[in-house]
Every structure is written in structure tokens, then in C-alpha cells.
Amino acid sequence: MKSIRQRLLLWQIGALVIAAALEGFLTYRLAWNAFNHSRDNGLQLIAYSVVRHGMRPAPDHADPHLPAPAGAADAPDEASTDLGHFTTQIWTLDGRLIYSSVADGGPPLQAAGLNVATWNGEDWRVYTLVDRQRIVQVSVTAADRQNRFAEFLPWLLAPLGILVVLLWLLIHTGVKTALSPLNAWGTDLRRREGRDLHAVATAALPEELVPLGEALNQLLARVNTLLTSQRTLLADVAHELNTPLAAVKLQAQIARRSGDATRQAALDELDQGIERATHLVAQLLQMARLEPGVRERQAGPVRLDALAAEVVAAFSARADAHGIDLGLAPSAVAWVPGDEEDLRVLLNNLVDNALRYVPAGGRVDVQVTAEGGRVRLGVSDTGPGIPEADRERALRRFVRLSPLQGDGNRNGNGSGLGLSIVAQVVAQHGGTLSLDEREGGGLSVRIDLPATAAPR
């Protein structure tokens, strides 16, 4: 059973039925005891009444020494079989029966007080009163008493049944009302369009449903942020791809129409355009792979200093071709928790970004240090650097800073994604990123990551 409404109704109505059954049983027992007590008092009153007012004994058992009370009722002339009425018997003090309201007699003489006796296969309630001159015994069958009590029982239990039905209706209505916000949410969400992700109302919710409403609103906000980011990304990608592809097409047309003297220069321009487009597509793929849920990340200890050495070695040929001194500064053995592929993307973008903006004869240093449970990755270069006012903006997607003039000119073929990819990887690994000015000029990128123990 998965329905909350059915579970609540089952538990509450089940508890109500059990409580009603227990209450009915207790009511029955208390009422039965009270009824017996009242009827026993009635037997006692009848016995005292017989003693006080007297009763004419039957002729066969007449005692000449006992005066006949005035106004006493005559004994029955024929045997009475109606055992449902009170049966009255009178004995002398020596135990001789001198009167009985039934021809065959009644229950045998009992001890003084209230007794339960069995006679003629039936249980009798008997009250015996001992007087100075006689013994009076009044009795009635237990079956007669139960029958009379049964006449009152429906009227006794009817209010309880009505109460159970009324409470069931109230519980059903209460559960339905309490869960109505969930139905309203379902109706509201089903009617919404795909982009309608505004928060659901929580002001009128019961206290127990407020956390659920807030969690739903947080989820809607995250989904809205994700969809907005994706829509923005698609729009930016379409815009960014349009420019290099249009440039490649134009350069191909120029190369086709150029003469032999200018064709080589046109082909060189075409190669640069293809390289920029290829670089942009590669970084777009990297950025797409970093989106949550795109792929399952392999979290484990990664030796960052060894990974940095691999990346430096991979870019060394390119650095030599551009006359740039790329090297790995003395580094410590350092392990960090994370995904090795993502960390490789981070290092690739840092080194690639530095090589793009460092002029010939410049220098790029990569270093890994460990201290106080943290691992620091540093990449510094002797390029033009980034003005302090632009450093925060440089971490955003598709932000290209204006080329600097003079000896530190940028080549202007960046995509505006390198540092934003680095920032995204750092955030996913619980690290911090800072951009500072390198001593002597240039840019210094520092990344602090949590350290972990080396695998055994």
C-alpha cells in the first residue's frame, strides 16, 4: 500500500475501531455489573418487604404457631412455570419450608446474603434474609436477568456506534483536507509549461508539509538555474561557433581565388582559422563533460605532481616551437582526491592558456607543493597578466579580455573558456582559485585542493 491517504485512514480508523471495541467491552462490563448490583438490591428489598408485611403460607405447610398476616396474598392455586418472575420462599428457623411462590418449590435454602445457586439446570441469583421467626429467600434466574439486560444493551451501545461513524467521517474529512495541498501541487505542476518553474506556494501549508514545499522549491530553483545555464550556453555556443566557421569559409574562398604569390599566406590564415575552431570545439566538449550528470566521475586519490609532469611533457614541443621556456619547478609528492581526467583537463587549460599569451622568450612555470593538509598547484607566466579589475570577469564563460599593446601583445585566438573550465573543475573538487600578479610581471594562478593519503 503506497497511498499516504489510505495508510492514514487505515491506521486512524483501525485505532478508532480498536478503541471503540475496548470501550464497548468496558461499557458492557461496567453496565452489567451495575445492572446486577441494582437487581440484587431489588431482591434484598423484596425480601425485607416480605418480612415486614408478611405473606400467608400455603395450606399444606401452615404453621399453627405463626399468625397469618393481614392482607397477605394467597398462594397460587396451581403450579407456576413462569420462572422468569421473582420466586419467593419462606422457611422456619429450623429449615422447614412453609411457603413457596411456585408449586415445585424453588432453589434450595442458601446461606444468608447474596448467593448464586444452580437448580433445575439453571443458574439463579438468590438473596436470603434471616429474621427472628423465619427465613425469607427471594430468587430469579440468571437467564431472565440477562434477557432483561439485553433489552437495554442496544440503547447503551447505540451512542458508541454513532460516535464511531461520526469520528470516521471527521477523520476521513481531516485526512483529505490535510493532504489537499499535495493534490493542489500535483494539479499546479501538471498544468505548467516546460519552462514554468516558479516556486509553489507554501504560506498556507501545514507545518509538517513546509519542509517538503521548501525542498520542492529548492529543486525547482536548481532545475531552473540548470536549464537557464544550458539555454545560455547553447546561445553562446551558437554565437561563438558562427564566427570562426564564417572566418574559415571566407579564408577558404580567399585561398581559392588567390594567385600563386599570395596563396600560401591565405592557406596559413585558413590553418589558423581551423585551429581556432578546433580549439573552441574541444573546449566546448570539455565544458559539456563537466556538467553535472553527464558522466560518472571516478573519485580516487590522484598524484598531482606526477600528473603535472605529464602535462608539461605533453606541451613541451609546442613551447619549444614558440620559443617559450616551459618547465616543472621542484615539486613535492602530493595526492589529492578527485577525478584524474578532470584534473588533467584543468592542467591542460592552465598550460595552454599560458602558452597562448606568453610572447616568445617568455617563461611558464608549473609547481606542486603540499602544506598543512592542502595541496597547492601554481602556474605562473611572464605574459601580460590580467588587470585586477578584470580577474573576476576572466573566470566567466566566453569572456575575452582586450588585447594588450606593446611587448606583451596577446595573439587574440583564445575562446574565453579556458579559465572558466578551470574554475568549474576547482569548484567540483572543493578547492579555491586565485589569480594574482606574478613577481616581476605576468600572471600567477594558484589553486588549493584538499590533500589525501597515498593509496596502499
Rounded Cα gap, residues 132 and 137, in angstroms = 14
Please write the tens of the pLDDT for every residue from 132-186.
Answer: 888 998 988 888 888 888 887 888 778 888 888 888 888 888 888 877 877 777 7
Q: Which CATH number fits domain 207-286: 1.20.120, 1.10.287, 3.40.50, 3.40.5?
A: 1.10.287
SS3 state at 22: helix
- Predicted confidence at residue 67, as pLDDT, reads 42
Residue 407 has pLDDT above 60, yes or no: no
Taking residues 87-111, what's their average pLDDT?
85
- Predicted confidence at residue 319, as pLDDT, reads 93
Could you tell me the three cell numbers for 157? 451501545
Residue 124 has pLDDT above 80, yes or no: yes
Q: What is the band of 323 on the pLDDT scale with cuts at 50, 70, 90?
A: very high
Q: What is the band of 65 on the pLDDT scale with cuts at 50, 70, 90?
A: very low
Residue 325: how many CB atoms within 10 A of its CB?
13
Report helix angle 260-289 to 418-428, nearest 10: 20
Higher pLDDT, 325 or 188: 325
- Predicted confidence at residue 447, as pLDDT, reads 93
- Predicted confidence at residue 317, as pLDDT, reads 93
- Which segment of 136-145, 200-209, 436-445, 446-455 scores lowest on mean pLDDT? 200-209
Q: What is the band of 310 on the pLDDT scale with cuts at 50, 70, 90?
A: very high
Taking residues 14-27, what's their average pLDDT?
85
- The number of angstroms, rounded, from the C-alpha of 330 to the middle of its chain's C-alpha atoms is 52
Residue 448 has pLDDT above 80, yes or no: yes
- For the chain, give the mean pLDDT: 79
Answer yes or no: CATH 3.30.565.10 is held by domain 298-450.
yes
Please write the tens of the pLDDT for every residue from 134-143.
Answer: 899 898 888 8
Rounded Cα gap, residues 266 and 264, in angstroms = 5
Please write the tens of the pLDDT for every residue from 275-307.
Answer: 777 777 776 777 777 666 556 667 789 999 999
- Predicted confidence at residue 337, as pLDDT, reads 92
Higher pLDDT, 61 or 151: 151
Higher pLDDT, 241 or 169: 169
Fill in the DSSP letter of residue 206.
-
Question: What would the CATH number be for the domain defined by 4-66+81-163?
Answer: 3.30.450
Please write the tens of the pLDDT for every residue from 336-381.
Answer: 998 888 899 899 989 988 998 899 999 999 999 998 889 999 999 9
Q: What is the 3-state secondary structure (H, E, C) of 328-350?
A: ECCCCCCEEEECHHHHHHHHHHH
Fill in the DSSP letter of residue 136.
E
- Predicted confidence at residue 379, as pLDDT, reads 93
- Predicted confidence at residue 434, as pLDDT, reads 92
CA-closest candidate to residue 202, choices 191, 218, 190: 218
- For the chain, domain boundaries: 4-66+81-163, 207-286, 298-450
- Predicted confidence at residue 307, as pLDDT, reads 94
- Predicted confidence at residue 435, as pLDDT, reads 92
- The number of angstroms, rounded, from the C-alpha of 204 to the middle of its chain's C-alpha atoms is 20
Q: What is the band of 66 on the pLDDT scale with cuts at 50, 70, 90?
A: very low
Residue 267 has pLDDT above 90, yes or no: no
- Predicted confidence at residue 439, as pLDDT, reads 86
Listed as own residue / partner, the contacts of 55-64 with beta carbons closer than 8 Å and 24 or more positions apart are 55/88, 55/90, 55/99, 56/99, 57/90, 57/98, 57/99, 58/98, 58/99, 58/100, 61/96, 61/97, 61/98, 61/99, 62/98, 63/92, 63/98
Residue 31 has pLDDT above 50, yes or no: yes
H-helix or E-strand spanning residue 371: strand 363-371
Higher pLDDT, 80 or 7: 7
Length of the chain: 456
CB 383 within 8 A of CB 359: yes
- Which segment of 166-170, 241-245, 393-397 scores lowest on mean pLDDT? 241-245
CB burial class (10 A; 0-12, 13-18, 19+) of residue 426? buried
